[in-house]
Structure 1
Amino acid sequence: MEITIQKAVLHILDTQVQAPVLSDFLIEQEEALFYLGSLAAKAWKSEESRACELTEDSFFFGENAAQMEREFVEKSGELAQRWFEEMQAQPAIPAGDAAFLWVTIDGTEYFAAMKLNYKAGWVHYFEMHEEGTASNRIVRQETMLPAGTAKPDEAFFVCMQPMGKQVRVLEKKYEIDGRKQPYLARAVVGARPGMSPKEKLAAICEAAQEVNQQFYGSLGVEEPEVAAAVCEEYRTYRTNVSQSLEEEAAAAPVAQLCEKLYGDLPHAREAFEKELAQRDIVMDEPLPMPGTGVRKLQKQSLRSSGGVEIKVPVSIYRDENEIEFIKNPDGTTSLLIKNILL
């Protein structure tokens, strides 16, 4: 991933005061631009970020990219004002500074912004007295910005070439109108949010489980088959990334997962495709590969009626040399674990 910041400006969105403090000048310090670039890279690569689509009432809808770049400071100020008004209306949204960027990511230009929510911290304070003595104190600072190693809680990237072709939003849920919900895509960017990679992977697994219920019944053994297939694709994906020496590589299409699960079952394949369509997922799109989401699938939890829980790696789920599932006459299943080391 290659990221370059062409322009950056910082606006203060502190709801303790009555209006945002808008800057008229770009940020020039190289250290500050490096700091913002590090945060932007983490926001862009976040597994919680969502692909979105601009709505007709969006701030960006119908805008001209060249004009947006020429009037970058003014446009960022307008959007910061809109952001601040939403924060005033919803007190649960924390105060912070909004860093607006004109940034190039892998050759594509984006108008981007990150809200750097304040963190409380401690700093030393040196004071020289009239009599020539000095004192060092520790004072609490309420408006510390996140560390350069942190990931912003809120950010968005709007593609400028062409306008709105790609929109990515990283947002957080706050108590809004009586319930926890995100607001950034809807109220500030003006976009319809899609699913994050983690949510999309969960939706694909859910669709497969629905199909398994239809064709196999509630046997309780088909969910790990889905997990094992996803984990196998993830291992292949990570191998391709390692061999290409790049941070990203092309993931297999969802259709390949379907082939692994239902290759010789045309009716199940058709049902799987329908379940995906209901979740706005198509067979030829890349299978999402969020590391945290896949890691959750690598071990399946089995629970007994008495509360005993065992985690079984999906890699050995069908290995009869390691474990064996025994069907009981009463409909329950017993688990025989082999090769135990004491």
Structure 2
Amino acid sequence: MIYIKEAILHIFDVNSDEPIFSFAGLDISEKFTMDYIHAMIEKVEDSDNMKKGVLAEGNPMISTFSTLTTNFIETTKALTEKFFSITKLNPEIPPADLLFVYFTMDEVPHLGLFKLNYSNSITHHISYESEQLTNQLVVNQSILPSARQAIQEGMVLNLNVMEYHVIEKKHLIDELAEKVFYFTEMFLEDKPQPSLKENIAIIKKAVQKTSKAFNEEEFQVLADTKDAIVHSMTEENVIDNQMIAETLYGDNYAKKEKFFEEVQEMGYVDRAPAEVAVAGPKYSKQKFRLDNGIEISIPIDLYKDPEVVEFINNPDGTTSVMIKNIEKIKNLF
């Protein structure tokens, strides 16, 4: 159960590269405001891009976060000052407003910090010139994302144990001359674990490298990998690296060793939480694109049923796909 206690919005002034602080909170009695805040929290918590981390005991941000429950407005101003001191020096980082929310989740105090990037939109402007009313088109450069739109950066922080959930994006930092996750590395001064999406991408790359090393047909192994990942998420709510290796390689220890070597080198975190509610729908189908332009989408629970679909290796080295026992075909035009 989420209970919103306080919320405030600090604005980035694109004309002066400085923040415009609010000295009073948002009106959280407004249903629109409450719905918007709840949507922002869900966008972090329900994303497969979400990464988890815990601020270490000596992290300098802990002392600032610890004052939030007793002095919400001043603490958010201090956090805004640090955040904008990073972004204003790096023009590739999009300008944005910062939305801070103090709330409890299951009676545990949390901070929500959401970066609301600006977008452009055209609106009308009414002016009077020489006592004549004139309607003009103008560009509004500070349009915030709607409740339905995705956000690129945001954080939910457990204020009791300093564990955070974050979604973020790499941006070019001029001083470093490279793209980094500035939200965690420079603002939070921490490094979280890979997200579910990143973990799955690491497994995919490791499988591809292992297949290449042993001259295997990649499409088949990747399909089996996807099946194993979904099974692991369904059965245990984690991605079990050992189970995936057993499913793919059985008693072939050379392939297993190569696979484990690759995932470890790329930073995979084994048995990290993987909620099926987040990842399941994206992995409910096996999708193939053939070199002749045909695309096939097969429900994952039917993929291994030989009475439904069969992949046939031909003597000339090509592959045929046979779809079986079809009673009715519907055009999805």
For normalisation by structure 1, the TM-score amounts to 0.75
Q: Which position in structure 2 is the counterpart of 1:218?
A: 216
The answer for the alignment partner of 1:295 in structure 2 is 282
Q: Which residue of 2 aligns with 1:172?
A: 169
Contact 2:68 2:76 in 1 (8 A): no
Q: 1:21-44: per-residue Cα shift (whole Å, max 9, x none)?
A: 112222234223442232232233
Matched, 1:254 2:240: yes
Partner of residue 245, structure 1: none
Q: Secondary structure at the match of 1:121?
A: strand
Conserved? CA contact 1:262–1:269, under 8 Å:
no
Partner of 2:61: 60
Instruction: Describe the SS at the equivalent of 2:68.
Output: helix
User: Considering only aligned residues, what root-mean-square deviation do their CA atoms show, in Å?
Assistant: 3.9
Deviation at 1:211, TM superposition (A): 6.0
Distance 1:289-1:212 versus aligned 2 partners, 3 A rule: farther
Report the CA distance shift for 1:159/1:95 in structure 2 as closer, same or farther (over 3 A): same
Q: CA deviation at 1:55?
A: 5.6
Could you say which residue in structure 1 is the equivalent of 2:43?
42
Q: Does 1:155 pair with 2:154?
A: yes
For residues 258-280 of structure 1, what are the alpha-carbon distances to aligned partners after superposition, in whole Å with 9 as ceiling and x for unaligned? 48716964948974666655555
* Cα distance in 1 between the residues matched to 2:275 and 2:201: 10
Q: CA deviation at 1:161?
A: 0.7
1:334 aligns with 2:319: yes
Q: How does 1:299-310 map to 2 (within 5 A)?
A: 299-301=286-288, 303-304=290-291, 307-310=292-295
Asked if structure 2 preserves the Cα contact closer than 8 Å seen for 1:228 and 1:298, the reply is no
Going from structure 1 to structure 2, the CA distance change for 1:146 and 1:256 (only over 3 Å counts) comes to: same
Structure 2 contact 94–117 (Cα < 8 Å) conserved: yes
The Cα shift of 1:6 comes to 1.3
> Any gaps of 5 or more consecutive residues in structure 2?
none
Q: Give distance in 2, aligned partners of 1:262 and 1:89.
A: 48
- Partner secondary structure for residue 20 of structure 1: strand
**Among the aligned pairs, what percent are the same residue?**
22
CA distance in 1 between partners of 2:240 and 2:4 (Å): 34
User: How many pairs align?
Assistant: 320
Structure 1 unaligned spans of 5+: 238-249
Secondary structure in structure 2 of the residue aligned to 1:155:
strand
**Alignment TM-score, normalising by the size of structure 2:** 0.77
Alpha-carbon distance between aligned partners in 2 of 1:137 and 1:302, rounded to the nearest angstrom:
49
Q: Which AA in structure 2 matches 1:81?
A: E
Task: State the Cα deviation string for residues 36-94 of structure 1 (Å, max 9, x = none).
Answer: 232232233222221134367744235573x3311221221111111111112101112
Aligned to 2:108: 108
Deviations 1:175-220 (A, max 9, x none): 3335444311111122213211111122234445566677x75144
Answer yes or no: is the 8 Å Cα contact 1:121–1:140 preserved in 2: yes
Deviation larger for 73-82 or 286-295: 286-295
What is the 5 A alignment of 1:1-342? 2-31=1-30, 32-54=33-55, 58-62=59-63, 65=66, 67-125=67-125, 139-162=138-161, 164=162, 166-177=163-174, 178-208=177-207, 218-220=216-218, 221-232=220-231, 236=234, 251-252=237-238, 254=240, 257-258=243-244, 261=247, 265=251, 267=253, 271=257, 276-278=263-265, 280-281=267-268, 283-287=270-274, 289=276, 291=278, 295=282, 298-301=285-288, 303-304=290-291, 307-311=292-296, 313=298, 314-328=300-314, 332-339=317-324
> 1:127 deviation in Å?
6.5
C-alpha contact (below 8 Å) 1:15/1:88 kept by paired residues: no
CA distance in 1: counterparts of 2:289 and 2:39, whole angstroms? 41
- Of residues 284-293 and 77-86 in structure 1, the stretch that sits farther from structure 2 once superposed is 284-293
Partner SS, residue 161 of structure 1: coil
